[in-house]
Structure 1
Amino acid sequence: MHSRKNQRDLTRTEKKRLVDAILELKRSGRYDDFVTLHRQYYVTDGESRPRPAHMTPSFFPWHRQYLLEFEKALQSVDPRVSVPYWDWTRDNTAKSSLWAEDFLGGNGRPGDRQVMTGPFAYRRGGWRIRAEVTDDHFLRRNFGRPSAPVTLPGAAEVDRALGDPVYDTAPWNSVSATGFRNRIEGWGIRGGRGIANHNKVHRWIGGSMAGAASPDDPVFWLHHAFIDLLWTRWQKAHPRARYLPARALPADDPQRDRIFPLDRPMPPWDVAPSQLMDHTRLYRYV
C-alpha cells in the first residue's frame, strides 16, 4: 500500500525522486509507450470502434488502470515513488508550486510556447517530444490561452459534479446531458455552454496537454490523479450509487459494442470496470 500525496506537500527529495524516475522512463523509451497508448485509445464519438478512455462511462476506470500501470513503471525505477495529485481548484495560478524550476517547470515562452524552465525543458536535453502530432520536439504550454482566455475550474464547478447522484446516462458519450462522469470529464454538459472540469484543465495548460498525446506533458499524471481522487469522493458521497451501465446495452443500441458496461474487459489490459471500483487495497490519498 502506498500513498498519493497532494503535490504541494511533497518534500524537495520526493519531487526529485519523481522527476528522476520520469526522466529514466523517458530515456528507456517506456514513457513514450504510455503516450502512444493514450493516443491509441483516445476514441471519439464519431468513430465506430470501441471507446474505452474518453467520452465514455469507462473514463474513470480506464484512467485508474492507466495510472496504476504508469505508477508500476515508476516504481520499477524507484520503489519509493508514487503519483502525486494536483488540486487545481486551490493551486490555480502560474505561480503554484508544481510549476517551480525544481519540479515541472513553468509556462511556455511567447511565440512558439516552448517550455524553457525545469527538468522537462527541451534545451536541457532530456525531454524530446516524438514528432507524430506536431513537428516540434519540445514541450509546449500556453497557460490560460490568452488569445481565447480560459480559467481553471473552481470548487463550485467540482461540487456541482460531485452532487450528481447518477454515475452516467445515455447516450453514454460526450453529449450525455447529466451524470457525474460527463460533469467531471467536461464536454459542455450545462446546456452545451463550454467545457468543464477535466477538459478545462487540459485547455488551460494548452500546448502539449491540448490533444490526444497529452501525457507528453508530465503534469498529465498529477491532473489525472486528482480526477481519480474526485471519483473516490463521489463514491463516498453516494454510497448507494453504482457504475452505469451495469449490463450490456440492447442489441439495437448504437453504443452497444462501443462502450464498456460494468463487467466488459477494457483494452489493452483486459480489466473490467468492476475490477477497479475500489482502490483502497492498492493506494490511498493523503
Structure 2
Amino acid sequence: MYTRKNQRNLTPAEKRRLVDALLTLKRSGHYDEFVRMHHAFYVPDGDSRPRPAHMTPSFFPWHRRYLLEFESALQRIDPGVSIPYWDWTADDTPAASLWADDFMGGTGRVGDRQVMTGPFAYRNGNWRIDSRITDGRYLTRNLGRPSAPVSLPTADEVAGALSEPWYDMAPWDSTSRGGFRNAIEGWSASGAERWRNHNRVHRWVGGLMLGSTSPNDPVFWLHHAFIDLLWVRWQRARPAAGYLPSDPLPPSDPQSGRIFALHEPMPPWDEPPALLLDHSRHYRYE
C-alpha cells in the first residue's frame, strides 16, 4: 500500500526522485512501450473494433490498470515513487509549481511549441519522442492556447459531473447524454462545451497531449491520477451505484462486442472492470 499525493505537496526530493525514475524508464525504452499501448487502444467510437480505453464505460478501469502498470515500472526503478495527481481545478495557470523547471517544465516556445525548460526539454538530451506518429522529436505544449484561449475545468464543473446518479448509459460512447463516465471524460456534441473536464485538460496543455500518443508528455500521468481520484470520489458518494453495463450487451445492440461489461476481460491484460473497482488494495490518496 502506498500513497498518491497532490503534486503541489511534493517535497523537492520527491520531485527529483519521480523525475529521475521517469528519465530512467525513458532511457530503457520501456516508457515508449506505454505510449504505444495507449495509441493502440485509443479506438474512436466510429471504429468497429473493440474500444476499451476511450469513449466507453471502461474508460476508468482501463486507465486505472494502465496507471498501475506504469507505476509498477517506476517502482522497479525506485520503490519509493508513486504517481502524484494534478488537481487542475486549483493549479489552473501556467504559473503553477507543476510547470517549474525542477518538475514538468513549462510551455512551448512560439512557433514550433517546443518545450525548452525542465528535465523533459529535448535540448537537455533526455526526452526524445520516438513513438510519435508524425515527425518531431521533441516535447511540445501550448499551455492555455493563448491565441484562442482555453480554460481548465472548474470545481463547479467537476461537481456537476460528480452529481451524476448513474455510472454510464446507452449508447455507451461519446454521444452518451448522461452518466458520470462521459461527464468526466468530456465528450459533447457541439458548442462551447464540446470538450469538458478530462478532454479540456488535454486541450489546455496542447502539443503532444492532444493525440492518442498523449503519454509522450509526462504530465499525462498526473492528469489521469486526478481522473482516477474523481472516480474514487464518485464511488464514495454513490456506493449503491455500480459499474454499467453490468451484463454483456445483446447481439442486437450496435455496441455488442465493442464495449466491456462488468465481467468482460479488457485487453491487453484480460482483466475485467470488476477487478478494478476498488483502488484501496493498491494505493490511497492523501
Supply the distance in 1 between the matched residues of 2:49 and 2:61 (Cα, whole angstroms). 19
Supply the distance in 2 between the matched residues of 1:149 and 1:132 (Cα, whole angstroms). 25
Supply the distance in 2 between the matched residues of 1:268 and 1:148 (Cα, whole angstroms). 38
Distance verdict in 2 for CA 1:76–1:54, change over 3 Å: same
Percentage of pairs with the same residue? 67
Could you tell me which residue of structure 1 aligns to residue 164 of structure 2? 164
Shift in Å at residue 193 of structure 1? Answer: 3.7
Supply the distance in 1 between the matched residues of 2:94 and 2:142 (Cα, whole angstroms). 10
Shift in Å at residue 113 of structure 1? Answer: 0.3
Confirm or deny that 1:86 pairs with 2:80: no
Supply the distance in 1 between the matched residues of 2:2 and 2:126 (Cα, whole angstroms). 28
Could you tell me which residue of structure 1 aligns to residue 149 of structure 2? 149
Give the length in aligned residue pairs. Answer: 286
CA contact (8 A) 2:94 2:144 kept: no
Task: Give the unaligned 5+ runs of structure 1.
Answer: none
Distance verdict in 2 for CA 1:210–1:190, change over 3 Å: closer
Shift in Å at residue 147 of structure 1? Answer: 2.9
Supply the distance in 1 between the matched residues of 2:279 and 2:111 (Cα, whole angstroms). 42
Matched ranges for 1:53-64 at <5 A: 53-64=53-64
Confirm or deny that 1:224 pairs with 2:224: yes
Distance verdict in 2 for CA 1:178–1:192, change over 3 Å: farther
Could you tell me which residue of structure 1 aligns to residue 246 of structure 2? 246
Shift in Å at residue 144 of structure 1? Answer: 1.2
Distance verdict in 2 for CA 1:76–1:179, change over 3 Å: same
Shift in Å at residue 134 of structure 1? Answer: 2.3
Supply the distance in 1 between the matched residues of 2:34 and 2:157 (Cα, whole angstroms). 30
Matched ranges for 1:1-286 at <5 A: 1-130=1-130, 132-188=132-188, 193-286=193-286
CA contact (8 A) 2:166 2:241 kept: yes
Deviates more, 1:232-241 or 1:142-151: 142-151
The alignment's TM-score, normalised by the length of structure 1, stands at 0.98
Letter in 2 for 1:5: K
CA contact (8 A) 1:182 1:189 kept: no
Q: Any idea what SS the aligned residue of 1:280 has?
A: helix
CA contact (8 A) 1:131 1:137 kept: no
CA contact (8 A) 2:132 2:213 kept: no
Supply the distance in 1 between the matched residues of 2:16 and 2:128 (Cα, whole angstroms). 19
CA contact (8 A) 1:183 1:189 kept: no
After TM superposition, what 4+ stretches of structure 1 lie above 6 angstroms from structure 2? 189-192
Supply the distance in 1 between the matched residues of 2:191 and 2:140 (Cα, whole angstroms). 32
CA contact (8 A) 1:23 1:126 kept: yes
Q: Any idea what SS the aligned residue of 2:52 has?
A: coil
- CA shift digits 1:140-194 (9 cap, x unpaired): 0001122332110000100000000100000000000000000000002698842
The alignment's TM-score, normalised by the length of structure 2, stands at 0.98
Deviates more, 1:77-86 or 1:132-141: 132-141
Q: Any idea what SS the aligned residue of 1:60 has?
A: helix
Letter in 2 for 1:84: P
Shift in Å at residue 76 of structure 1? Answer: 0.4
Distance verdict in 2 for CA 1:177–1:192, change over 3 Å: farther
Supply the distance in 2 between the matched residues of 1:159 and 1:179 (Cα, whole angstroms). 13
Shift in Å at residue 133 of structure 1? Answer: 2.0
- CA shift digits 1:19-51 (9 cap, x unpaired): 000000000000000000000000001111100
Shift in Å at residue 60 of structure 1? Answer: 0.1
Q: How large is the Cα RMSD of the aligned pairs?
A: 1.2
